[in-house]
Each structure stands twice: as structure tokens, then as C-alpha cells.
Amino acid sequence: MTQFQISKTDPARTRLIDVTPADYAASMGEGDALVRVDRFGLSSNNITYVVLGDRLGYWQFFTAAHGPDDGDEGDHEWGVMPVWGFADVVESRCANLEVGERLFGYFPPATHLVMHPDASRSAQSPLVDASAHRADLPPTYNTYQRVLQEPGYDPGDDDLRMLLNPLQTTAWALWEALREAAWFSAEQVVIVSASSKTGLGLASALKRDQSSPKTVGITAPKNRDFVIGLGLYDQVVTYDEIESTLSQRPSVVVDMAGSGAVLGRVHHHLGEAMLHSINVGLTHWDEASGGQDIIRERSEMFFVPGVIQERMKQWGAAEFDRVTQDFLLRSFAESRDWLTIESVQGLEGLAAKYAMVRDGSLTPGHAIVVAP
């Protein structure tokens, strides 16, 4: 087994750690299962997990394997970045999971993972990893779909599902939250980091919703033509045009970038017209500090699992799955026109691709899939 790890104190530092099959076998107990990770997606969403790893518990999902120089106590500096992907069951010591099943969900960037499926759930229900170290984490991230049981499952959609499912689920949740809040009485929705895949998903949902306000996308000058070409926004403003071009009409701001300086400029420019601000992602994670002009009393950090759990209680699991699946399938279809996917074979090439995503050099129309 090989595992890709990232320094918790310096996200630019990475390493690959190998674990022998004997060590892996020794870590398995009764009720456990061993899966081989087949492939996973890499995007700015994963960088958010890294930057917020301590604050929101993302480092807790997967235990970092010990390195040869870590000593008996291990090295707590290293963490494992969660990714969305597919894995196949290669060994099972639990009654409700068979060898050969294929799972979609949260995995480590590694070749293998030991899981402890919840034995109380049937073999026809989604699998839940009940490992002790994950017990207090959001259920959404501990749940895995048994894709071979899904009607009409198409392996040809695997790459899009890995890359877009978490991002478009966030876009759907944002759309739901904005609608429920009656758009916060805003006349325009301002999306910062308009070229981000979550931003594009939200803009697409707003464009289809006839009740939504005008949409304004704020993006980097280098991405301006790409964003305009998609035709999703009523107006596109570059970062250097905020003060000169962004209309000061009543606004709700949805921030995907996480740049304190940029968000502070948007808030300062809008002033009293900034009715509400929702912080979602960190595509500009290295600029997250600062932002002295941010209007914090009208700002909130968006938590996707909260919206999902609330809607599941209101609608029931079946209706929730139907609504979100319709949204995701539409998003997948729309993305085929503009998304180019690059495949990387082996974890050895992951460090370079991770660095590209981390420093923002990956163009918005490209995405990365890794096959360990």
C-alpha cells in the first residue's frame, strides 16, 4: 500500500509512504474490509480540505501511515487529504459487504484503505464506515454508494462523478439555501471565483431559476473570456474592475475564493448594499488572511452537510436522492462541453499535479483524475 501525505504545517510539502502487505493485514480485524482505490478526482475542493484540515476535522478521516523515520510515536505533522473516488472491495470480513463490490465516496489518496462497515445496515443500503476515529464526523462523508446496485450505473460517468459530484452538490445546496432565504432580498448574486466549478454549477442553477436575481461573476482577468464564453452570468467582472464596474445594488455575495483581500474589497465597495455574504471555498487559499473590510456581522461560513441533513429529514431519502441526482446529471451533461480531463497513472505523479491545483495554475476548463 502506498499513501500520499501532506504536511499539516506546510501544505507545499508532500511525501509518499509505503506500507507492507504484512502490516496492512495486521491492521485488519473482524468486521473490517479492505478496498483498493481505483481512481479519484483532484480539484481546488481538496485544497480547501487541506487548509481547513484542523479547523473542520478533515485530517481525522484517514490515519496517516508511519514513515520509516517517524519513530515509535509516528509523526503527527503529516496528514492525509480526503478525495472523492471509487474503490473495489478486495477482502471482506463483514457479512454485509462482498468482495467485488464497487464503492463511491470519500477515500484517501492511496492504493488501499481498511474500512469498518456498519454491520447493522443491510447489503442493499449505502455502506457506512463506522471506524472509531470517524464516529464524530459528518455522516455525509462516512457514507458510500454501492454503485453496482444503482439502476443505470454507467462507468463512463465515473470521472465526472468524482470531479463534479462534491462540487455540484455544494452548488445545489447553495441554490437551495439561497432560495429558502428568498435571496436575502438581494437584486444580484455576486459569485467570487466565478470560474470555479462550484461557482459555475451555482451560476447554471441560478440561470435556470426564473425567480433568481441577476448573477454577477467575479474572476481573474486570465479567465474572463472562458467565463463569458459559457454564457452563465448576466455580467462578468474581473478582480481589477470591482470598484469601477460592480453595481452597488442590494447584493448577496457567495465567495468561492477565500481571499480575504478580495472579499474585503467587494464588501467595502458594496457597503450597505452588501446584505449577506456566504463563505464557501478557498480557491485562493494562500490569500485567506487579511480582509479588514469584511463585514463579518453579515457573513456566514457555509456548511454543506447541514443543508443535506435538513433536506433529507424534510423530504425523505428517496426524494432527496431523486432531486439531487437530477441536478447532478444535468451538471454532468453541461460540463462535457467545456471540461477536459487529464488522467494520471500512479501516485508518483500526484505531487506535481497537487502543486498545480494548489498554486492555481490549472486552467478552469481542466481537471485531474488519478489512478493509484
**For residues 253-262, b (16+ Cβ closer than 10 Å) or e, as one string?**
bbbbbbbbbb
Tens digit of each residue's pLDDT (9 = 90 or more) over 151-186: 888 898 899 999 998 889 999 999 999 999 999 999
Task: Determine the Cα–Cα distance for residues 351 and 172; give it in Å rounded to an integer.
Answer: 31
**Domains in the chain, ordered, with CATH?**
2-153+340-371 (3.90.180), 163-305 (3.40.50.720)
Task: Determine the Cα–Cα distance for residues 264 and 63; give it in Å rounded to an integer.
Answer: 37
Helix ranges, the chain (H): 21-26, 44-51, 139-142, 158-180, 197-208, 224-230, 242-245, 260-270, 304-315, 317-335, 350-359
Is residue 251 within 8 Å of residue 187, measured between CB atoms? Answer: yes
Q: Specify the pTM.
A: 0.85
177-186, 192-201, 226-235, 329-338 — which is least confidently predicted? 329-338
Task: Please name every residue paired with 54 in a beta bridge, in sequence order, or none if there are none.
Answer: none
Task: Determine the Cα–Cα distance for residues 165 and 31; give it in Å rounded to an integer.
Answer: 29
Tens digit of each residue's pLDDT (9 = 90 or more) over 228-275: 999 999 999 999 999 999 999 999 999 988 788 899 999 999 999 999
Tens digit of each residue's pLDDT (9 = 90 or more) over 107-149: 999 999 999 999 999 988 899 999 999 999 988 899 999 999 9
Provide the 8-state DSSP code for 246: S
Tens digit of each residue's pLDDT (9 = 90 or more) over 62-76: 999 888 877 655 568
